[in-house]
Amino acid sequence: GTRFTSRRGKDEHLIVAGGFGAHQRPVDIVERWNPRTNEWTALQPLTKRRRYAAAAAIGKRLYVVGGYDGRQRMNSVECLDLSQENTTWQPVASLTYRRALPGVCVHQNLIYVCGGFDGSSRLASTECYDEKTDVWTIGEDMHVGREGAGLVSIGDHLYCIGKCISMQ
């Protein structure tokens, strides 16, 4: 049968950024869990409180994308360079569209974002971020809008899977 082995390399961590606390209010809390020591460490807080955001990492840089600040869906993106001690979150180019609950992944060193919810409708749009140029490019629309879907890169393909869809 199939066997799974947990990976516990020296640089492997789980980072939790944003979310919501009491009364569903968005938070700016960022924490890192070290699976080798089973310890949580507080990191620098996000520059903006957000829930329903998504995240992706390129190398040692973590990007938090979109979300909801309690009043409106967000198009802002911020980056934390984990290769530096005591680093702070830095804003990078904003998404073209405001998105909460988007699908996000890295493919060929580019960050891809699909779907999400803009406050009135589920989005079918896609965007791609190049950290070298700090530019988002609009991609092909999906056939249906999706909110809360997973996005994964396998080989040369991206797959947007599941969650709420909008049918025409």
Say if CB 70 and CB 117 are below 8 A apart. no
CATH superfamily membership of 56-166? Kelch-type beta propeller (2.120.10.80)
* Tokens coding 71: 């009043």
User: Would you call 112 exposed, middle or buried from its count of C-beta atoms within 10 A (0-12, 13-18, 19+)?
Assistant: buried
Name the nearest CA neighbour of 99 among 149, 160, 158: 149
pLDDT tens series, the chain, 168 aa: 445 444 555 678 999 999 999 889 999 999 999 999 999 999 999 999 999 999 999 999 999 999 999 999 999 999 999 999 889 999 999 999 999 999 999 999 999 999 999 999 999 999 999 999 999 999 999 999 999 999 999 999 999 998 766 655
Domain ranges of the chain: 56-166
Q: Which helix (H) or strand (E) holds 79?
A: strand 77-81
